[in-house]
Structure 1
Amino acid sequence: MSTAAGKGRRLDDRQRRAWLRLIRTENVGPVSFRDLINRFGSAEAALEALPELARKGGARRIRIPSPSEIDAEQEAAERMGAWFVAIGEPHYPALLARADHPPPLLAVKGRLELLSEPAVAMVGARNASLAGVKLAQRMAMELGREGYVVVSGLARGIDAAAHQGGLESGTVAALAGGLDKPYPPENDALFAEIAERGVVLSEMPFGWTPRAKDFPRRNRLVAGMSYGLLVVEAANRSGSLISAQLANEMGRLVFAIPGSPLDPRAAGTNKLLKQGAILVTGTGDIIEAVAPLIGRLPTGRELDEPADFSSAPPPDDDARALVLTALGPTPVGVDEIIRHTGLHPAQVALVLLELDIAGRLERHSGGTVSLLIDSP
């Protein structure tokens, strides 16, 4: 991602403020954020260009946070003792930076040095069995003693047990809501303890109450920060299996603990094992698989190269019409759109950016895109 200031370099206060304002803008996500910076050179220039981009994409207006709103969020972070860490800065998790579409900014609190340590994710059932809870705690403690940071999502059950087991050595909790809105409330005390002894982080705005559709984004953070992800207990339909799928797509190792076929909480883990997950009966199985990967980049598909917007003239209305005709509710690859329309890749990229900013485009895993059915 070329939006980064460069490995080990820091944004100044003005840049960080502009980045925060841009990523908090309506319809701006990690992909469009990256493309906006690449197209306009800075977040400040991108903010100025947004209304015209939205208009060309078919939207009447776009909501950009006011400077006072950004002031309020920065003040909320300061009151909490939190920071905004940008991709490319020293404390941004290196593996997450290599994930598909990483968030440009993270709100973080705690021992930031832990984000540079090798991490293993641990997830599982919310209605975990007592045996599952004890096993998750023990394995998290053992991983910590071997120098691994345990990452999870602060949910009840296995997530909470993993955090508790990793407290002594260091654990990271990724949130689905704002950093000041931990969920569920029953884990508030655990959240506070992790914020002091480990790290809590979120890509969502302060004050944001998590919704059901926000948890997959949280799961992406958990999987993206880690060399491997262990599923302790999971039903056939569970967020843990979504996390495992995301980890697999990112090229991370997926581990699972086998369970009784009579226990529905083992149905998901047994299914993962049938699909090729690494069978785990003890912490040594995880360490043996992860240790050779430490310091190496993940082995998933290569990141999409940032669009080069400077190599072709801007698209005209005819070009926009060609791209719109090629799009529909079924996801298609950007390369397919380029071949079908005969347009220059930079022109297609800019039309897609306009549609994205206008709220008319949906991006999917694998770099595919579709037109939103209810788009204007």
Structure 2
Amino acid sequence: MAGGEDGSPRDARPAGDDRLSERERLAWLRLIRSENVGPVTFRQLIRHFGSASAALDGLPGLAARSGRQARVAGRADAEREMAQLARLGGRLVAIGEPDYPAWLKAIDAAPPLISVRGGVAVLARPMIAIVGARSASVAGCRMAQRLARDLGEAGFVVVSGLARGIDAAAHQAALSRGTVAVFAGGLDRLYPPENAALADSILEAGGAHVSEMPLGWEPRSRDFPRRNRLVSGMASGTLLVEAAQRSGSLITARLAGEQGRAVFAVPGSPLDPRAAGTNQLIKQGAHLVTEAADVLEIVAPMIGPAFAPKPDWLADRGDGMAERLAAPEFSGEARDDGDPDGVEDPARGDRERLVEALGPVPTEIDALIRFTGLSAGLVQVLLLELDLAGRIEHHAGQRVSLLA
């Protein structure tokens, strides 16, 4: 059974529609909530079995081949989550559906399902991520507000993580033009609690809350980098206003670079430790920003032809910037990595050969194929087995490593 380019089964949708049937949406939710099934494994399972329903049936046997039992999420739990989300005024959006953010589906490990609360219309518009220090200065917050306001007037939605400081300032300034808050936990687990009023304002203004985590999930420290990849992944560029040398904002910038997105930074005083990270980014090649036009100059070629904003402050520049924003069509299709359907069962010793080739250092899958002499399809199936058994970790750039 062939799948779509985003890894989703074409027959799961009604004819002439790009949306999943509710039956298949429930199966997708069960699959992504099953033990050791992350976004990469989800996609591989869909491509291997043809649909989420078939993957749910085949998952225990596949995991057992590596000596582990797979815990498959129950139907009742998935139905309960969908009902609770509906009561919050939210819904699940699947990759490949019209309301799924186009830029997000192009990243490695794009979440197959996201929970969305609020106005989904903002998810279809061009986005810029604005992030920065939680303990931000007054000047930093004012700069974030000015940039968010001007970028909003230029037609961009501001996406951020609803954290204290720069994130909150950017969200607040972008309310009237559209802003998206990405949660590290479930949509019913706001963090930090002090931003509850701001979170409500985002929804009231037609913005949206987004999360890939289940309802009831309390955010842990390791969930914030995972959240950050969605912040950068939804945007054509990530802008840092203030960031210390070791901060979550720098993680967001690194992820944006790995995703092939533009990275921007506002310079600051060398005497202010909150500017140390942004100044270092500029030294490393990030685009220096002192006004919104600096961002627009870079992202203009990345935006589709229907996007042609002409805010007063931009049109008055007289340098053709507004016209250049009607740029070539952007590309956001997920990559097609081949189809392992029909691959033969592993022969005796194949799995051991692959495990011996793996180690703690992330290794490209192509290198594993060349080193082991196994077929590409067979390596993908073996990696899927090891993934379900919790023995490997996925990294950017199609690389994997063996867990201790």
Q: TM over 0.5: same fold? A: yes
Any stretches of 5+ residues in structure 2 without a counterpart? Answer: 11-15, 305-328
Aligned partner of 1:249 in structure 2 is 258
In structure 2, the CA distance between the partners of 1:142 and 1:8, relative to structure 1 (3 Å rule), is farther
Verify: 1:33 aligned to 2:52, yes or no. no
Aligned partner of 1:88 in structure 2 is 96
User: Structure 2 matches for 1:69-218, cutoff 5 A?
Assistant: 69-197=77-205, 198-218=207-227
AA in 2 matched with 1:53: L
In structure 2, the CA distance between the partners of 1:237 and 1:82, relative to structure 1 (3 Å rule), is same
Q: Judge conservation of contact 1:173–1:201 (CA < 8 Å) in 2.
A: yes
Which has the larger displacement, 61-70 or 263-272? 61-70
What value does the CA root-mean-square deviation take over the aligned residues?
1.6
Deviation at 1:82, TM superposition (A): 0.2
User: Structure 2 matches for 1:359-374, cutoff 5 A?
Assistant: 359-373=390-404
Q: Judge conservation of contact 1:124–1:157 (CA < 8 Å) in 2.
A: yes
Q: Judge conservation of contact 1:35–1:307 (CA < 8 Å) in 2.
A: no
Deviation at 1:297, TM superposition (A): 3.7
The 2-side partners of 1:287 and 1:215 are apart by: 28
AA in 1 matched with 2:277: G
Which has the larger displacement, 238-247 or 287-296? 287-296
Q: Match for 1:325 among 345, 356, 360?
A: 356
Identity of aligned residues (%): 56
Q: Match for 1:3 among 4, 7, 15?
A: 7
The 2-side partners of 1:333 and 1:304 are apart by: 16
AA in 1 matched with 2:365: V
SS at match of 2:280: helix
AA in 2 matched with 1:316: A
User: Structure 2 matches for 1:339-358, cutoff 5 A?
Assistant: 339-358=370-389
Could you give the per-residue CA deviations for residues 10-47 of structure 1, whole angstroms, max 9, x where no partner exists?
Answer: 00100000000000111001111011011101101100
User: Structure 2 matches for 1:263-342, cutoff 5 A?
Assistant: 263-295=272-304, 296-297=329-330, 305-310=336-341, 312-342=343-373
Q: Judge conservation of contact 1:251–1:298 (CA < 8 Å) in 2.
A: no
Could you give the per-residue CA deviations for residues 40-72 of structure 1, whole angstroms, max 9, x where no partner exists?
Answer: 01101100111111111221x221121111111
SS at match of 2:285: coil
Deviation at 1:306, TM superposition (A): 2.8
Q: Judge conservation of contact 2:128–2:238 (CA < 8 Å) in 1.
A: yes
Which has the larger displacement, 232-241 or 49-58? 49-58
Verify: 1:63 aligned to 2:71, yes or no. yes
SS at match of 2:25: helix
Deviation at 1:191, TM superposition (A): 1.2
Deviation at 1:2, TM superposition (A): 3.6
Q: Match for 1:258 among 267, 292, 302?
A: 267
SS at match of 2:190: coil
Any stretches of 5+ residues in structure 1 without a counterpart? Answer: none
In structure 2, the CA distance between the partners of 1:5 and 1:148, relative to structure 1 (3 Å rule), is farther
SS at match of 1:337: helix
AA in 2 matched with 1:127: S
TM-score (norm 1): 0.95
Q: Judge conservation of contact 2:136–2:165 (CA < 8 Å) in 1.
A: yes
The 1-side partners of 2:167 and 2:374 are apart by: 48
